[in-house]
Chains A and B, each alone.
Chain A
């Protein structure tokens, strides 16, 4: 008999509380735009922060409220923009996500070291100690702060001591660019055309040529040869304006240390290793 009372009592209490909860849910209901949930599902969900909002959920709210644009989500790319357009309706301009490009080709074979660094394996820390262990105080230190922050596994540290960007995976979020203490990574629109000066050194030419085989020595040969005046000197460094560049390649021909490369032919890890092997074979 006891068990029947117990079941009845608990059953009734359950009903009562359930009723209370149902009423409370009706009275204190929070209006949620179903579109926010839909947008949240459409974005990549890496919480990378490239849009400038605190995570993907906040971004979704901002897009629905009209505060943010759909193409602010750089990692999502075209697909996400289309998906958001479908959810919200109307035309939304798409944009192409940029690609991380390293403005240093002074790998561990071409840029010489000043001393053996044996401290904390972190670019920012290594760079603080006596201006870094390389002779060049602007170049890549190769401890991979950019690799550590990438959420999309799009950068790895090459055997030649420089980070390598996997353009397929790179979403253009720019986390690597802000992680680099020497500001060597720039986010550029994707493309194969145009030439770049792949160096960031502001040292005098003499200092650069002592420190690195492929550093910009500020000789201005490229500035003089450029037919469309797309190259300007920024201090002791030549900078090519990609918008003006006509892809003629005259500057690359003239560049004495070989700092200038076409975007489609930036020296890869394999190139660097092959060049180094050739050099050792020569000296042996």
Chain B
């Protein structure tokens, strides 16, 4: 076991008390769902044969898939009629193809939904296939297809599975709530992952500001010898893959490498529950817990929302948005994406909807760098954010790459600590995009 804290990082105001004690309640079925064909990292899906405007679909029916390996199929989250197939606003800030479905209100499940059978009888390949067919992706927000993580190359055996219950993003409490309410499902999902990977050890990492969740999960793993719980120091970005692996296993993921390089694979608690649901009940991933919070929301809540529900409807279900709202963010305040309007669907990776009023935020003018090096101290990857940002500003992307810009995972600590309010993360993001573009050429 390594140290329980990593170097760098920041301590933002967590503001989790707004929704931390609110149990997850299912949101009433939406009046319309818009299901984007790209909800994961990897190849976008294509509508399946027979899925066209006017055709009837049932809940849980697979409506789109891709032949690419790094991809996850997409299922209808309601039963109803397809209204349109075409471009729609996407929470990632562009307009992407999506399938719009009008629910018939009956919520009939597709006939193909049936339990996968007992875990003893399922082989690793069976489970992997169930996970792929259920369209499960990383629910922490990165939306990396889960079955890909469950298929490590033979030369990189996995011996430790790390479950991420850190939830270091301020405001969000979705993971916190599911840990309190579905501990048994998490442990079942974790065991399935361990079986597929043949891993003999697992660690569930939880930040120590969620003491109740630690207690509940400790009870749930009683008698399990190879599963332990790591009490993590509360610090942002504790839930980032590399930081989490370092503090729970003491292993350091090499620069540019993946957790599997050090024999570790990392899943979010929500993903473990989705795997549980897929195996035990045969349910594909069609709904998820979303924290709707912030000073701009009239009645903050943790809601179980169907994938494809429009953010405007989710906010409506929470009593609407206040007049003084200045910013709408999908995700958490540190890594989430600011939105232009609320006419966007909830996707598989939407962990939170955050509305901030002018009390919580202000627009800051940025001023020149004063070389205080606070961003260097705050960077958990030990990069030089100000250096990379300056190279990006002068379009010297090659030099930015030499400063390891590609190792940045955009946690936002540098922008958070900068006293000159320089949008460092945004500049680094530009540098990363340009470096990737240059490599593709």
Interface residues in chain B, defined as those with a beta carbon under 8 Å from any beta carbon in chain A: 93-94, 326, 340-341, 363, 366, 393, 423, 426-427, 430
Give every chain A residue within 8 A of B340 (Cβ-Cβ): 114-115, 130
Give every chain B residue within 8 A of A115 (Cβ-Cβ): 340-341
Known A114-B340, A115-B340, A130-B340; contact A125-B426, beta-carbon cutoff 8 A: yes
Give every chain B residue within 8 A of A130 (Cβ-Cβ): 93-94, 340
Give the complex CA separation of A121 and B423 in angstroms.
9
Give the complex CA separation of A86 and B430 in angstroms.
49
Give the complex CA separation of A122 and B429 in angstroms.
14
Give the complex CA separation of A121 and B422 in angstroms.
10
Closest Cβ neighbor of A124 among chain B residues:
B430
Contact with B along A113-125 (1 / 0, CB 8 A): 0111011111001
Give every chain A residue within 8 A of B341 (Cβ-Cβ): 115
Give the complex CA separation of A129 and B427 in angstroms.
13
Give the complex CA separation of A145 and B430 in angstroms.
16
Contact yes or no, A120 B423, CB < 8 A: yes
The 7 closest A-B pairs by CB, nearest first: A130-B340, A120-B426, A118-B363, A120-B423, A115-B340, A119-B426, A130-B93
Give every chain A residue within 8 A of B430 (Cβ-Cβ): 120, 125
Contact yes or no, A120 B427, CB < 8 A: yes
Contact yes or no, B423 A119, CB < 8 A: yes
A-B contact count (CB 8 A): 20
17 contacts between A and B (CB under 8 A): A114-B340, A115-B340, A115-B341, A116-B326, A116-B363, A119-B423, A119-B426, A120-B423, A120-B426, A120-B430, A121-B366, A122-B393, A125-B426, A125-B430, A129-B93, A130-B93, A130-B94
Give 5 A-B pairs besides A118-B363, A120-B423, A120-B430 with Cβ atoms closer than 8 angstroms. A114-B340, A115-B341, A119-B423, A121-B366, A122-B393
| B334 CB to nearest chain A CB (Å) | 15
| B25 CB to nearest chain A CB (Å) | 31
Give every chain B residue within 8 A of A119 (Cβ-Cβ): 423, 426
Give every chain B residue within 8 A of A116 (Cβ-Cβ): 326, 363
| A123 CB to nearest chain B CB (Å) | 13
Give the complex CA separation of A130 and B326 in angstroms.
17
Closest Cβ neighbor of B395 among chain A residues:
A124
Give every chain A residue within 8 A of B93 (Cβ-Cβ): 129-130
| B320 CB to nearest chain A CB (Å) | 19
Closest Cβ neighbor of B392 among chain A residues:
A120
Give every chain B residue within 8 A of A122 (Cβ-Cβ): 393
| B342 CB to nearest chain A CB (Å) | 12
Give every chain B residue within 8 A of A125 (Cβ-Cβ): 426, 430
Closest Cβ neighbor of A114 among chain B residues:
B340
Closest Cβ neighbor of A118 among chain B residues:
B363
Give every chain B residue within 8 A of A118 (Cβ-Cβ): 363
Give every chain A residue within 8 A of B393 (Cβ-Cβ): 122
Q: Which residue among A114, A115, A116, A120 has the maximum number of chain B CB atoms within 10 Å of its CB? A: A120
Give every chain A residue within 8 A of B366 (Cβ-Cβ): 121
Contact with B along A127-153 (1 / 0, CB 8 A): 001100000000000000000000000
